[in-house]
Copies of this chain bind each other. A is one copy, B any other.
Amino acid sequence: MTDIYINDIGTALGSLREQNDAQSLGQAEADCLRIVDKTGIRSRPVAAEHEYSSDLACTATNALLTETGTVATDVGALLVCTQTPDHLIPGVSSRVHGRLGFPKSCFVLDINQGCSGFVIGTQVMTNWLRATGGSGILVNADTYSKLVRPHDLTTRVIFGDAATATMLSTRRGGFRVVHCRSFADGSGYDAFVARGSALRNDQHQQAGIYMDGPGILNFALQAVPDAITQTLADVNRSLGDIRMVLFHQANRFIIGQLAKKLKLAKEQTPCNYSDLGNTVSASIPLLLKEQMNQLQPGDLVLTVGFGVGLSWGAALLERVKD
């Protein structure tokens, strides 16, 4: 089986910044302090009024092309993972393809996943590259702020708008994709849903994101450790072999609980939510980019996504010599 590598990651943040304080949120100071303390999120990047997922996706992809010295016409696949597209028809990948001049031979597709979208996108792209060779870009781009109900503090203070563009290829460098595994439980569809966001008539409810926080927490605390065990068992590994576990940056409380349950040391679970918030499927690649130079060849890194769907999974990566 051909080895596939994550070579590099380009990033983009929403161009505005919202503080999680009483003044910015128009809420009581005690409520804001309590929420910042529990979530660990102080401020978040937010897309401007006329800034969309396609804009963040293009900026991140352009950054990646520049950093890696890649010309768009050499890219064989462009996969955009988003749940907040500009339009239902066509996909964001079509906009990125057209704006940045990718070739007609490029495989172009939007996929819809939330916080497990980096793991699932890596699975799809890895399978693609194993069949075709060459290189492909996985974009993770969302602007959840446009779907948050402004008075629903439990979601508003959490989500940040961002995009990443991840280069995957058969060229050794960065991280080798060792193994991926994903899971789903559609019986949890209603635990995280954006009412009135597409075709279904949800007129009896205010449009926007509804999250069953305790439900999602219980799900994550059960499903994530099981998924980690199964993913590692598939390749005869255990947590003791892993240098870092990069969790989807949901918030401080949930990551803390997971780290405790899995007996992970603080230095094994680096976090970046405090000034990024939960950037949905971009959160893992944002963190992976930050940690890339802290890792030595041979180090194993487990990335773990979980959330809406319900959908969850893990991708085991090995840092290799660049």
Contacts and interface: CB of A to CB of B under 8 A. Distances in A.
Interface in A305-320: 308-311
A188 to B, nearest CB: 7
A147 interface: yes
Which of A84, A96, A186 has the most CB atoms of chain B within a 10 A radius of its CB? A186
Interface residues of A, number: 65
A2 to B, nearest CB: 11
Contacts of A224: none
Contacts of A162: none
A interface secondary structure, majority: mixed
B87 A195 contact: yes
A104 B182 CA distance: 9
Interface stretch (A105-113, A255-263, A286-294): A105-113
A27 interface: no
Nearest to A227: B104
Copies of this chain held together in the complex? 2
A102 interface: yes
Interface stretch (A8-16, A17-25, A45-53, A246-254): A45-53
Given A85-B88, A209-B89, A199 B309 contact: no
A236 interface: no
Contacts of A124: 109, 124, 127-128
A97 interface: yes
Which of A127, A187, A199 has the most CB atoms of chain B within a 10 A radius of its CB? A199
Given A94-B189, A111-B109, A186-B102, A194 B130 contact: no
Contacts of A102: 184, 186
A201 interface: yes
Given A49-B201, A189-B95, A199-B146, A182 B107 contact: yes
Q: Top 8 closest A-B pairs, CB basis?
A: A98-B186, A97-B186, A108-B184, A110-B112, A127-B127, A89-B194, A88-B197, A86-B200
